[in-house]
Structure 1
């Protein structure tokens, strides 16, 4: 019996074409909520950049944000896992040396360091984060605990960077950037933290995702669902592959696994 649903946002709940949650997904999640199932978001986005789930926001019980670095339910923090300060300094230094943009996510604020055209295209256009400010000073953010670093670099540059960061790991769901968090911080462990807090067994959960940063949660959930538009590596480890986000994938997955006894 499924007691909790965990949804990635971009490419899972939200279409890259419309930047909205499909109506079929809204209706299916509403129906699941009415059955008493808990609804959780599991995203690489920091909370201030979650601007595209208005259709279901009132149904959400809690959040896994910044790829698991910051998990909360209401005003209660379930887990908060900062990156070691030395590793933060290393990434900032390399951004200066190699001239790449990097989003720096603190506990309270975030800043886009060395913003450029590529970063602007990704965050403002592809992800539709129109309110993202690019002139926020980095120094006040660096005085906070840093939860995630998102350098806008290709995969080969990420492979050279990560051995320099002893306390970090990375994930990638889009070719142009990587998400860096502290070691052992990922969506899968976020699911375990929230499930344990709520008295829910991992086998009583279902998670849906489409990207490389969803690998851990798809493996950890009782039922792991890959969207039809997911990458092939994620599909290979999923228990089920549903239709793409733009073809009512969330609806079909919930129909198959949550509402099957009602069919």
Structure 2
């Protein structure tokens, strides 16, 4: 059997929605892929520390996280860079002027910090814990991994993000985070000497579009965005309907 190198998005691909809970068939699929000698890795927009938590639960030692800005190999961080801090600080200045609540992740830990109590009401309970600190000085930050903005899609249209990339987390929260997962995968492929023709990508969301059309075999989940399905080499069933298992069985990888 030809060895394949799999890169999986987490939310909506391995796990049901943003629950971080994998269907039993997906767990079995990963076990069988590894037993058959295949390489399995994550490719996620989540913070490295958040991805590491999920990775440890499901026996991943290699992953692209931070939307392509970090690489973890053999359980150790080998690359990790910040968003452009000066651009993020300028954005937060504009949010402050507009009276729009925000929070930031300034360290590689599952935490957000805000100086605006109003953000606490909008903070998703399943996301990072949020700490309110009125003395926090965001203008001194030199490293910054995420900016969370409490705004609707309508409000978003009136915000000047400059060149910063954004991903909508839910109806009320917009994330400023890297959207270059394809670049992280390419750097890992180069580090490990992986042939492009043996790379397989699984995804479902808009932040997975960047991974498709890169010369790798791409599979969209049945619950994926339509735009991603149109780009995919193959569309499987939804994540909660054995999509992972069915695709891997279809191609004889398990």
Shared fold (TM-score, shorter chain, > 0.5): yes
Name the counterpart of 1:46.
47
Name the counterpart of 1:4.
5
Query: Does the aligned pair in 2 maintain the 1:149–1:179 contact within 8 Å?
Result: yes
TM-fit CA distance, 1:224: 1.1
TM-fit CA distance, 1:97: 2.6
Q: Which segment is superposed worse, 23-32 or 2-11?
A: 2-11
Query: Does the aligned pair in 2 maintain the 1:108–1:144 contact within 8 Å?
Result: no
Q: How does 1:4-23 map to 2 (within 5 A)?
A: 4-16=5-17, 19-23=20-24
Check if 1:179 corresponds to 2:180. no
TM-fit CA distance, 1:132: 1.8
Structure 1: gaps of 5 or more residues: none
The alignment covers a number of residue pairs equal to 248
State how far apart, in whole Å, the 1-side matches of 2:23 and 2:139 are.
35
> Cα distance 1:205–1:20, how it changes in 2: closer, same or farther (>3 A)?
same
> Cα distance 1:203–1:170, how it changes in 2: closer, same or farther (>3 A)?
farther
> Cα distance 1:181–1:51, how it changes in 2: closer, same or farther (>3 A)?
closer
TM-fit CA distance, 1:72: 1.6
Name the counterpart of 2:192.
198
Name the counterpart of 2:233.
239
Check if 1:77 corresponds to 2:67. no
> Cα distance 1:239–1:20, how it changes in 2: closer, same or farther (>3 A)?
same
Deviations 1:62-103 (CA, angstroms, capped at 9, x unpaired): 122121122221354343332222211122213323343434
Query: Does the aligned pair in 1 maintain the 2:12–2:18 contact within 8 Å?
Result: no
The CA RMSD over aligned residues, in Å, is 2.9
> Cα distance 1:75–1:250, how it changes in 2: closer, same or farther (>3 A)?
closer
Query: Does the aligned pair in 2 maintain the 1:69–1:147 contact within 8 Å?
Result: no
Name the counterpart of 1:252.
246
Structure 2: gaps of 5 or more residues: none
For the residue of structure 2 that corresponds to 1:116, the secondary structure is helix
Query: Does the aligned pair in 2 maintain the 1:106–1:142 contact within 8 Å?
Result: no
TM-score (norm 2): 0.82
Indicate the structure with greater helix content: 1
Q: Which segment is superposed worse, 150-159 or 40-49?
A: 150-159
TM-fit CA distance, 1:138: 4.4
State how far apart, in whole Å, the 1-side matches of 2:152 and 2:3 are.
38
State how far apart, in whole Å, the 2-side matches of 1:142 and 1:62 are.
33
